[in-house]
Structure 1
Amino acid sequence: MKISGYFSEFSLGEVFRFLEQGQKTGCLTLKSMDESHTLSFLPPVAEHYLFFRYGQIVAATTTLNHQGLRQLIEQRGYLHPLTMQRVMNRYPGNVPLGVFLKSQAILDSQQIQLLFKQQVLTPIPYLFALKDGYFHFDAQHPLPFAEMTGLSASPQAITLAGLRLLRDWTPLLDKLPLADSTIVSLVNEPPSVQLGKIEWQVWEHIDGTTTIQEIAQRLNIAVLEVQKICFRLMVMGIVEEVVNISPLSPNNTTPDQEIDSDLSATPSTGLSSSFLNGIVAFLKATVNP
Structure 2
Amino acid sequence: MAITGNFADFSLPELLQFLEQGQKTGLLYIGFVIGDTKNITTKAYYIWLQQGRVIAAAERLDQKGLMSMIAQRGWISERVVSRVIKVDACSVNTPMGLCLKSQGLLEPEQLKILFNTQVLRQVCALFQLKDALFTFDSTTSLPLAEMTGLSMSATEVILLGLRALRDWTALADKLPDSTSGLSSLAKKQPQIPLNAQEWQVWEFVNGQVSLENIANQLRISTETVQQIAFRLIVVGLAEEHFMVAAPPACTLEEYTHPIASVETVQELPQKPIVSQSFLKNLVGFLRGKS
TM-score w.r.t. length of structure 1: 0.79
RMSD value over aligned CA atoms? 3.1
Q: Which amino acid aligns with 2:196?
A: K
1:58 lines up with 2:69 in the alignment: no
* Number of the residue aligned with 1:184: 183
Per the alignment, residue 230 of structure 2 pairs with: 231
Q: Answer yes or no: is the 8 Å Cα contact 2:17–2:155 preserved in 1.
A: yes
Identity %: 40
The alpha-carbon distance between structure 1 residues 52 and 132, as it changes in their structure 2 partners (threshold 3 A), is same
Could you tell me how far 1:190 is from its partner in structure 2? 2.6
Per-residue Cα deviation, 1:60-85 (whole angstroms, up to 9, x for no partner): 11221111111211222322444444
Structure 1 residues 275, 125: CA separation in 2 closer, same or farther (over 3 Å shift)? Answer: farther
Deviation digits for residues 17-55 of structure 1 (CA, Å, limit 9, x no counterpart): 3432332221122233xx3479xxxxx753221111122
Q: Distance in 2 between matches of 1:94 and 1:132?
A: 37
1:277 aligned partner, one-letter code:
G
Give the residue type in structure 2 aligned to 1:160. L
Q: For residue 204 of structure 2, what is the aligned residue in structure 1?
A: 205
Answer yes or no: is the 8 Å Cα contact 2:54–2:154 preserved in 1.
yes
Query: Whose radius of gyration is greater, 1 or 2?
Result: 2
| Equivalent residues of 2:130, 2:170 under 8 A apart | no
Q: Deviations over 1:129-148 (max 9, x none)?
A: 33333332222251110000
What count of residue pairs does the alignment treat as equivalent?
A: 268
Tell me what 2:64 maps to. 67
Instruction: Check conservation: 2:29, 2:46, Cα contact below 8 A.
Output: yes
Q: Which runs of structure 2 are paired with 1:1-289 in the superposition (5 Å)?
A: 1-32=1-32, 35-36=33-34, 46-90=43-87, 92-140=91-139, 142-242=141-241, 250=265, 253-255=268-270, 258-259=271-272, 262-263=273-274, 268-269=279-280, 272-279=283-290
Go from structure 1 to structure 2 and tell me whether the alpha carbon gap of 1:205 and 1:265 turns closer, same or farther (over 3 Å shift): same
Deviations 1:165-197 (A, max 9, x none): 334444444433332332232333332201122
Tell me, yes or no, if the aligned pair for 1:7 and 1:133 is still in contact at 8 Å.
yes
2:128·2:169 contact (CA, 8 Å) conserved in 1? no
- Contact 1:242–1:264 under 8 Å retained in 2: no
- Residue pair 2:233, 2:239 contacting (<8 A) in 1 also: yes
* C-alpha separation in 1, matches of 2:282 and 2:26: 21
1:213–1:140 CA distance, 2 compared to 1 (3 A):
same
**Greater mean deviation of Cα atoms: 193-202 or 235-244:** 235-244
Q: After the TM superposition, which segments of 4 or more aligned residues of structure 1 sit over 6 Å from their partners?
A: 245-249, 264-267
Distance in 1 of aligned mates of 2:265 and 2:75: 70
Give the Cα separation in 2 of the matches to 1:149 and 1:183. 38
Letter paired with 1:224:
E
Deviates more, 1:180-189 or 1:202-211: 180-189
Q: CA deviation at 1:219?
A: 1.4
Q: Indicate conservation of the 8 Å contact 1:237/1:271, yes or no.
A: no
**1:222-280 CA distance string (max 9 Å, x none):** 2222122112112212223345687899478422xx21xx338668449923433313x
- Per-residue Cα deviation, 1:61-111 (whole angstroms, up to 9, x for no partner): 122111111121122232244444444544534321101110111110000
CA contact (8 A) 2:130 2:171 kept: no
Kept in 1, the 8 Å contact 2:55–2:149? The answer is yes
In 1, the alpha carbon distance for the partners of 2:19 and 2:158 equals 14
- Which residue identity is paired with 2:149? G
What is the rounded CA distance, in whole Å, between the counterparts of 1:140 and 1:79 in structure 2? 31
Partner Cα separation in structure 1 for residue 281 and residue 107 of structure 2: 39
